[in-house]
Structure formats: structure tokens, C-alpha cells
Amino acid sequence: MGKGFYISKAVGVVTIILGAGALATIIALSVVYSQEKAKNNQVSPTDGGTTKPPVTTPTPSNEPWDKYRLPKSLVPDQYNVTLWPRLTPNDVTKLYIFTGQSSVEFLCAEETDLILIHSNKLNYTEQDNGKLAKLTSLNGDKVPSVKSTWLQPVTQYLVVQLDGKLMKDQKYILFTDFTGELADDLGGFYRSEYMENGEKKVVATTQMQPTDARKAFPCFDEPAMKAIFHITLIHDKGTVALSNGEEKESTSVTMEGQNVQKTVFAPTEKMSTYLLAFIVSDYDFINNTIDGVLIRIFARKPAIAAGQGDYALNKTGPILKFFEKYYNSTYPLPKSDQIALPDFNAGAMENWGLITYRETALLYDDEFSSNSNKQRIATIIAHELAHMWFGNLVTLRWWNDLWLNEGFASYVEYLGAHEAEPDWNVKDLIVLSDVHRVFAVDALASSHPLSSKEEDIQKPAQISELFDAISYSKGASVLRMLSDFLTEDVFTMGLRTYLTEFAFGNADYTDLWKHLQRAVNANGTKLPDTVENIMNTWVLQMGFPVVTINTTSGEVSQQHFLLDPDSVVTTPSPYNYEWIVPMKWMKTGVTQAPQWLKAKSATIDEMKTSGKDWVLANLNVVGYYRVNYDQTNWDKLLNGLNTSHENMPVINRAQLVDDAFNLARAKIIPTVLALSTTKYLNKEREYMPWESALNNLDFFYLMFDRTEVYGPMQDYLRKQVTPLFEHFKNITDTWKKVPAGHMDQYNEVNAISLACRTGLVECQDLVKRWFKQWMDTKVNPIHPNLRSTVYCNAIAAGGAKEWEFAWTEFKNATIAIEADKLRYALSCTKQPWLLNRYLEYTLDPRMIRKQDATSTIVYIASNVIGQSLAWDFVRARWSYIFNEYGGGSFSFSNLVNGVTERFSTEFELQQLKQFKADNAEVGFGSGTLAVDQSIERTMGNIKWIAANKQNVMDWFTTETEP
């Protein structure tokens, strides 16, 4: 799944419906639905989108249906599934529903008299045997009769008890007839709505990963239970039906008195349930064929007509060919469909042959899209196409190894995007977007290792919680490090044999290590230990080291890096928090032979220096660790930055800033030393060091924008950014042209953003003038690259008139990318009443789409005026937000972290602890860990301010004295 989050609503429709008629089923379903909804007002949902039994219920028994994992007794072979989504609500019940029939053919691997098959929120029609399912054998032999059937909502099973045993090695077929709600909950088979020419349109679409295929039809919903799927969709005339397989035939049929279309799809390859997709829409598409593979981009008709799918279509072919070459494996399917959905809570989803995207992750329009939007599209397409082999062709056995699937795609997405846009140097940006991003989380005592134990990941909520920055970004970072020290040739050699051995099957991460080891042996690569032993230190323990180099003695040592050095690490490590560390380094601008640190400390004589020589380690930040030096070497590096910064690689200039600020947070070096790394920035024109500095100074804003430090800090940063602002003013001919380089375009945004933020009058006048021109003429003069920052700063400087104008533009926006920029900018106002009203809008899906609710609240919280308003709002509404927006949602951790990141007082810490206690019964879903992380972070912030406030105040004051 692409980086992003989905929401699954915790309203359960779990009662059994009897009676065969479709209308009876629909009416009963609506009664059940309203009963369940009423019940859910008193019952707190668990994380997995099921309902908790009342507190009086005894703990689950040891019965198989009370366990979350399927028994090994039955193995699916193939499914025949027919689904009919209704794109208009039922006249009587006003509900959108779908009906379906499924027969699953399975092999009995061990004798059993019990069939457990996953089912969630589905209602079954009674069969002629009086039960909810019917059993036959493939060869026509007599089968045991069905003794009883029932639904087990907590563990999400349809339970079928037989009056005799199924025989080993025999094949059977289980038939069911069912109805479900086509809800707007973004999980399973759901509906997405949009307006087109004043008319409401409905799309029926899916999001199965990780555990929602069971909401669409009964299935053995575990990744290792691969099968072949024969999908048929019944749909309204004039709509388009899509699924993983190619369309085999589409015919006109009459069903229940309606003239409808019946589309049958070719059987899929052997695949996991979480990769299934089926969609019915009124969409249009564009297509081309590359080496026999049909590539299609589907979207709303006006979006296709406006050419918004063209960029994706032009880049998909080259990226697909790149991965064929990279994996040395032909794309295994006849088609690659990609579809943009108005409501979709992840960034994208790698369904095999039918990839689903948020509109902002697939659709590009020169008139509205910035270069960062374009980069996001290229990298997300690459991320999803990488999964076609790694994840789809070869799938991890269980979710505890999710990190390998998502980490791998998050690493090679940069390689694929580089192939699509070779001038961008996009591969460098993994350092800012993934390595530095995840360092912040992984430096907490509440972090977790990449790989979890299988037995610790059982419930849907536990699975959902794994879709975090550790799995994606740390996974990407350590795999990039591995590829670097093995060399890409050896890495891909091992990868290719791994994919060949496990094609159409399942593996775990140690299988990849074995194949990489074979490649190492075949190539004669010298390593200090086996691939498995080296990588275990990075995969099986949380965190990462700070490597300290003493250039006087040559002593090099490592320790577990913690942002708060006083925090207590309670998670035991099998390696005592020591790592086998690959070190690429340079001396005074000259690259040296790589070294390994294999113990707590070692002496490396080559790293001793004398005279003016300096040492710089972790070149291009290919290693997943931070670096500290003796004070003499720090002084030489700072001097080097101030006199001739071009002698150091640009990524390492960004690294020096980031490492220094974080080492200071951890009390390893003084904060004023970290601030000193920003003094040279008035001469720096490159994007990455500036971005690194701004990311770190954001923490200073969070800590100090409500204190007396704010004034001197603003004065210093205004002084530093003014030359950059002037530089871009000059090279763009007073803002008329767009800078040539991709990174320069990014840095122009930084220049305007910081200049306006720090009160540079020329900048503020510029953005206000542009925005007023737009309001007056209704023609937008602002280049898409600059819109986010210009909108934000103009709305911050303005009042209700500017806000209302932007809100109207947001509601009328026809492209999601533009709507997203406006949605963010609306949170920038300094008017509390507008922010409070905006917070209310977030929980009204007519105002803000459900997929955008949590991120909008976080935007408001990041505004210093909106911080306390958002916190009060979330506390007051937690139970409602949690029930309505789903316990299994991936965005709860973002929400909790977002509204608490400024917390730095004892009072705020107590409020946070109280919030945790008050809502213990409601729960926090996938935000559970984030609550503890926020408490830990707040305690660290309190200590940091006590230790640093005066020094920082003095430093900024001194630096801005004339």
C-alpha cells in the first residue's frame, strides 16, 4: 500500500438474516443496521472494526472460532464470486447495498468437522438446508451434512459445524448467498461519491488490505491462503466494471426484473485475498500497449477529458519496463489498470492488475499541479508497480513481515521514479523523506523492531498498527543500506533468485537473506559476517546507533541513540543494542576505503587526523545511523561549511545539520553547536541542506513560538533567508520564471515560505498582492509550485474575506490536487473563530471528505493559534471520532501525534495523561502506541526547554546584534 492511511468504520452489521428474497434481506438488513448503530452508541468498538462484547462477557474460550488465526486444516484452491453492487439507495431503507454469491473450492489438508471462513458485516440468506451455507464435494461424493452455522463477530468468522469429518486430500465446495452494505467507510467493498455537472455519481470500489476482503465475501482471508479467483460483476447499463483479471465477456441479462450488464473476468493468477479489487463506475480511460501489456488509466470523465491521466500513462510503461529489468522477470499479467478514486484513504493500493489511487496520487494537471505533486505521482506509481513482483508474485507469509513488503517498495520507488525522471536526482531525497523522517520515531524508547513475532500480530487492529513509519521508512532505509554494502549487482542477483523460487507462493524475510547470501558467496563479496547476522542487528532490535569518531585517538564507538537520554528502554534486545555498522567516509574531501564497526568500540587508525584535515562519515547517508565527532573535528567541519561548503557532498551538508540538531536534543552536544551549523546557510543555495535545517528549526518553532525566544529567532532566520529570497528573485526575473532544476523549484518554495514566515515585508507584500489579484480578477496568477505557501501566507495575513474566498474555491475545485492545497491553506488563518468553525467542518463529510478529516485537524493543530483549539476539539469529540472514523484506521497515530507535538509544559503533560485515562474504555485503535509516544515526547520537551531556553535565547540575540 502506498504511504498514506485508510479508515475503516466500526459500525458492525453482524446479525443473521433469514429468508431468501432480496427485498426481505434488504429490509431486514436496514433494521439490523439501525439496531446495530443504536447498540454501537453504547458499545465501544475494538480496533479491528468489530464490536466489543459487553464487559461482563467471559474471556474467549479455547474454541477454534475464538482464535484470530485460521486453522491449517483447509486450503482454498479457487473461488467463484458474483457480486452485484447497487449504485442507488433502496427506496424503503435508503441503504446502499450489494448482494453476492460465492462458492469456494478447498482442499482438506487435515481431517476436521469444522469449517471456519472469514466474514465481517455480511448477512447470509438461508440455504435449502436451513443453514447459512451449503457444502458439496468436488467429485460428487456424499458429504457430511451441516449441523449448525453462525457468525462469530469478534474474530470475524462464519462458522460451519458438520455432523461428520471432511476427508484428508478431498476437495469440497462451500456455497453462500449474502448481502452487505455498500457503505462509505473506505474498507472492503465500499462506495465513493462525487459530483459531476451537478449530478451525484457513485462508484462501488474496494480496499481489502489488510483484513477487509471478508467484508466483501466470505473467504480464507490470510495472505498465505492464495487461490485463483473467478470474479463476475453485475452492474447497471452504461457503467464500467473492472477487476484484477481481463474482461472475458460482458452480456446483457435480466435479473430481478432489471435489465443489467453481467461482466465475467478471466481467472486471476494464484494470489492473496488482500490484493483483490472490483470496481463499478461511470469512468472513462486512456490506454496504450507496451510489449503486449495493456496499460489503462481510469478516472472521472472530466479528468480524463482534461488530460489529467496523461502523465501517469506516459510514465507507467517506462517504470514497468524498468522493474522487469531490475527483477529480470516479465510482468506476469496481461494488463495494468490504474484508477483514481475520489474517496480513498491510503495513497494507493497495489491490487494485482488493478491499482487504486487517491486522485492526488495519480492525476496531474500542469495548470494546478506542482512539481512535488508530480514527484509524488511518479514515486507512488513506482511504489505500486514494484509490488507487482515483490508482494504480489511473492507474498509474505504473515503480516509480521509487512516491513519487508512495504520497506522494499518504499526503497525501490526512488529507483523507478529516477528511471521516469532522470533529471530530478530523486534518489537523494530518500534521505530527507525516509531516513531522517523515521529517525525521529526510531529514537524513542517506545519504538519497535522492524520484525514482530508472528504470535504478537493476531487481531486486525494489531495488523493495522504495523502500517507505520517504521515498516515503510526504516524498512526502506535499511534495505538501501544493504543494497549499498552488497553493491546493487549482488543485491539484485539475490533478489531475482528469491522471486524465481517463491513465485506465486509465500516467503518470510529470512528466505530473502538466504538468497542474498548465495549471491554474496557466488560473487566473492567480502563481508564481516553473514547477511543474516548483519541484518538481524538492524531488523530484530529497535532503534539505531550514534557512531562517535574521535579523530585524535582514532577510537570509534557506538551507542543506542535516544532523543531523550533519560528515557528508560524496557524492550529487551537480543544484541544489547549494538549493531554491525558499515561505514563509508571521507577525509578532507577525499573518499576513503570503507570500514566496519563490529563491536561496541574499535580503534581505526586511518580516522586519526592532524593539521587541517577533517573526517566526515556516513557518506550520502547510506547507513542507518547518526555520527558524532570530537570537538576539534566539529570545529573543522563548521569552518569547512563557512569557508567552502561545496567541498562536502550536498547530502552530507544536510546530514551535518540534522545530526547536530538531534545530537543536541539528546544532550550529546551543546544546542548552540547545532545552531552553529545554520550560520553558513546565508551562502547555501541547495535544497537539501535548507530543507534539513527548516525541518529541525520546526522543532524550535514548536517549542518557542509561544515564548519570548520567538522574536530573536525570527530576526536571525529572516537575516539568514534574505539572500536566498534575493537569489530566487534574481534567477526568476522577479518571480516571472520557474527555476530550471527540480530541487531549485523546491528551494524557491522554502525561500518564500521562510521569508514570509519570518516577516520579510517584501515577501508578505508579494503573496498578498498575488492573492488579491486572484480574488479581484478570478484568474489565478500563482504558479502551482508556489500555491500552498502563497495561499497559506495570504490567508494568515488576511481575515474572513480571504478565508471565505478560499473556502468557495475549495468547494468548487474540480481537481483534488488544488483542493488539497486550499484545504491546507484554510488552516493558516490567525482568526480563532474561523479555525473553530473549520474544526466543526472536519466531522461533516459534506464539508470535508472522511479520508481528509484527520489530516485537516492536524493542519489546524500545527498553526500556533489552532493548537489548543484542535486539542480541545479532539478531547471533547474523541468517542465520536473514534466510533465514526474507525478503530482500525491508520490515521489515528497521525492525529494523536499531530495535536500534541507542541506539548512542552507540565500542565499539557497532565492533560495528555488525563486524556489517556478518560478514554481507556473507548480505546485509541491504531493510535494506542502514539498516545504513549506523545507522553514520552512531551516529557522530553519539558526537560529540553528547561535545559536550553536561556542559551538559545542568548545565541539568537547575539547572532542578530548589528
Beta bridge partners of 349: 356
727/871 Cα distance (integer angstroms) = 40
Q: 775 burial class (0-12, 13-18, 19+ CB within 10 angstroms)?
A: middle
CB 857 within 8 A of CB 870: yes
Task: Say which DSSP state 571 is in.
Answer: S
The residue with cell 473506505 is: 186
**Distance from C-alpha of 770 to C-alpha of 789, rounded to nearest angstrom:** 12
The β-bridge partners of 394 are 390, 505
**Residue type (1 letter), 337:** D
DSSP3 helix / strand / coil % (the chain, rounded to 5): 45, 20, 35
936 has catalytic annotation = no
- Alpha-carbon Rg for the chain in angstroms: 29
Between CA 12 and CA 537 the distance in angstroms is 42
Q: Helix or strand or coil: residue 714?
A: helix
Peptide bond into 64 cis (omega under 30): no
3-state secondary structure of 782: coil
Backbone φ and ψ for 7, nearest 5 degrees, come out as -120, 130
Which residue(s) pair with 189 in the sheet?
206
Q: Contact, 925 vs 882, CB < 8 A?
A: yes
At residue 629, φ and ψ (nearest 5 deg) are: -130, 170
Strand partners, 559: 546
Q: Which residue in the block uniquely carries the three cell numbers 472494526? A: 49
Say how far apart CA 523 and CA 760 lie, in whole Å: 58
How many CB atoms lie under 10 A from the CB of residue 360? Answer: 23
Extract the C-alpha cell encoding 661. Answer: 540538531
Rounded CA separation 121/132 (Å): 14
What cell was used for 653?
Answer: 551538508
Distance CA 188, CA 274 (A): 10
Torsion over CA: 388, 266, 505, 489 (sign): negative
Residue 6, C-alpha cell as written in the block = 485508510
Amino acid at 8: S
Instruction: Please state, in angstroms and rounded to a whole number, the distance separating the CA atoms of residues 750 and 756.
Output: 10
Closest CA relative to residue 208, chosen from 103, 81, 301, 323: 81
Q: Where are the alpha helices (DSSP H) in 503-580?
A: 509-523, 531-539
Amino acid in the structure at residue 306: A
Catalytic residue among 269, 359, 384, 901: 384
Distance CA(821)–CA(569), nearest Å, equals 40
The pairing of beta strand 247-255 with beta strand 171-181: unpaired
Pairing mode, if any, of strands 545-549 and 626-629? parallel
What 3-state class would DSSP assign to 83?
Answer: strand
- Whether the CB-CB separation of 851 and 345 falls below 8 Å is answered with yes
8 A C-beta contact, residue 555 and residue 603:
yes
H or E, element range at 803: helix 800-812
Rounded to whole angstroms, how far apart are CA atoms 592 and 598? 18
Looking up cell 525541518 gives 695
Q: Name residue, grid cell 460428487.
A: 140
631 is written with which cell numbers?
570537538
H/E stretch holding 868 reads helix 866-885
748 φ, ψ (degrees, to nearest 5): -60, -40
Catalytic residues: 384
